Every structure is written in C-alpha cells, then in structure tokens.
Structure 1
Amino acid sequence: MKIGELSKRTGLSASKIRFYEDIGLLKMVERKANGYRSYPKEAEVVLNLIVSGQQAGFSLDELKALLPADLSGWQHAHLIDALKQKVMDIEQLQAKLAENKQRLTAILAEIDAKPDDMDCADNAKRVLTQMGLKNDK
C-alpha cells in the first residue's frame, strides 16, 4: 500500500510515518521504480505498536530495541523483561509524583495559614523559614 493509505489506516501523518522509517523503527518499506514507497499490511500493525508503546511510556529508542525487523521474530523473554522494567519505572514515577504532591500540598497549607494581619511578602518569608528554605544573606 502507499503511504497515503497507510496514513489513513493508522491516523498518522505521512511525515510521521517517514520519520519512523528514517530512524529505523519502520523497516518494512519497499521503493518502487518510480520512487514511491510501498508498505506491506504488517506496517500498519508495527505503526500501531509504536503508537501504543509510546502511549505506555516507551521511548523511541526503547521501542527500536524491542521491535523485531520481522513481526515473527519476537524475543519473548526480552519483551517480558522490558515490560516489567517499564512497570517498575512507572511505579517509581508514581512514588516521586506522590512525594511531590505531598510537598506542594504542605506548602499550600502553610501559605493558606497566613495570619490576617500579615502581608504576602512577610507570609512568604514565614513559609520559607518554616520549610528551612530561607537563605539569610
């Protein structure tokens, strides 16, 4: 199939498809005598895998290492290891985000606890001092 049809089937722009080809993610392309690209039906599957992989948090380099040149060449153990590692990465990110959320929530609580007779600048100094962030110079 031509790139326009592949673009319609996948919802990806032709330039995005060419990009994936240029960086070596989409290897199944044939050039016709007239210079047009021709893609097998499997190219649609590969592009959908790339998009799904990116949505799951895989980088293009990670996908390049995972995707076989031929869809029949999957390395089961390598794929399972990569998926488990991505789950661990996501769990670490979730823990970091929870920590950041807790820190920001504490800062908001301190800012909201501003005494009525205190202006914003003095309140900022108060909050920073309580958090140990004030740098006295």
Structure 2
Amino acid sequence: MRIGELAERTGLAPSRIRFYERIGLLKTVRRKANGYRTYPPEAVTMLKLITTAQQAGFSLDELTALLPADLADWDHGSLLTTLRQKIRDIEEIQERLAQSKAQLVEVLAEVEAKPDDMDCATNAKRVLSQFGMGNS
C-alpha cells in the first residue's frame, strides 16, 4: 500500500509516517523504481503499536531499542523486562503525582480558610509560613 492509504488506515499524517521511517522505527517500507514508498499490511500493526506505546509513556528512543524490524523476531524476555520496568516507572510517577496533589489540596484548604478580616497578601504569608515556605 502507498503512504496515503497507510495514513488513512492509521489516522497518522504522512509526514509522521515518514518521520518514523527516518528514525528507524518503521522498517518495513519498500521503494519502487519510481521512488514511491510501499508498505506491507504489517506496517499498520507496527504504527498502531508505536502510537499505543507512546501513549503509554514510551519515548521514541525506548521504542527504537524495543521494537524489532519484524514483529515475528520479538525477544519475549526483553519485552517482558521492558514492560515491567515501564510499569514501575509509571507507578513512581503516580506516587509523585499523588504526593503533589495531597500537598496542593492542603495548600488549597489553607488558602480557602482565609479569615474574613485578612487580606490576600497577609493570608499568603500565613499559608506559606505554615508550609515552611515563608521568609520568616
């Protein structure tokens, strides 16, 4: 299939497909004598894998190291190790986000607890001092 059909089937712009080819992620491309790119049906699967993996947090460098040229040549052990590590990475990010959220909820509660007779600047100093961020 040509790049237009591949773009239509995957929802990706032709420029994105050419980019993946240029950086070595999409290796199944063939060139005809006239210079046109042709792609086998597996290219649809590979591009969907790439976009799904990116949405899951894999960088392009990680994908370049992980994805084989032919999906039939996948190293099962390496794949499992990489997926487990990515899950651990995501769990660490989730923990940091939960901590950040908890801190923001605390700050929000303190800001909202501003006494009616206190101006915002004084309240900000009060809140910052409670969280060890003030200059006093």
Same fold (TM over 0.5): yes
Aligned counterpart, 1:91: 91
TM-score normalised according to structure 1 size = 0.96
Please give the alpha-carbon distance, in whole angstroms, between the structure 2 residues aligned to 1:120 and 1:71. Answer: 60
Q: Percent same amino acid at aligned positions?
A: 64
Please give the alpha-carbon distance, in whole angstroms, between the structure 1 residues aligned to 2:33 and 2:103. Answer: 62
Please give the alpha-carbon distance, in whole angstroms, between the structure 2 residues aligned to 1:110 and 1:57. Answer: 34
Q: Which 5+ residue runs of structure 1 have no aligned equivalent?
A: none
Which stretches of structure 1, 4 residues or longer, exceed 6 Å deviation after superposition? Answer: none
Please give the alpha-carbon distance, in whole angstroms, between the structure 1 residues aligned to 2:45 and 2:131. Answer: 52
Count of equivalent residues: 136
TM-score normalised according to structure 2 size = 0.97
Specify the SS of the correspondent of 2:34. coil
By how many angstroms is 1:135 displaced? 2.0
Please give the alpha-carbon distance, in whole angstroms, between the structure 2 residues aligned to 1:46 and 1:126. Answer: 55
Specify the SS of the correspondent of 1:24. coil
Between 1:62-71 and 1:98-107, the stretch displaced more is 62-71
User: For the aligned residues, what is the CA RMSD?
Assistant: 0.8
Matched residue type, 2:52: S
By how many angstroms is 1:32 displaced? 1.0
Matched residue type, 2:76: H
By how many angstroms is 1:46 displaced? 0.5
Aligned counterpart, 2:111: 111
Offset from partner CA, 1:36-80 (integer Å, 9 cap, x none):
101111111110110111111111111111110111100000000
Aligned counterpart, 2:62: 62
Please give the alpha-carbon distance, in whole angstroms, between the structure 2 residues aligned to 1:132 and 1:70. Answer: 55
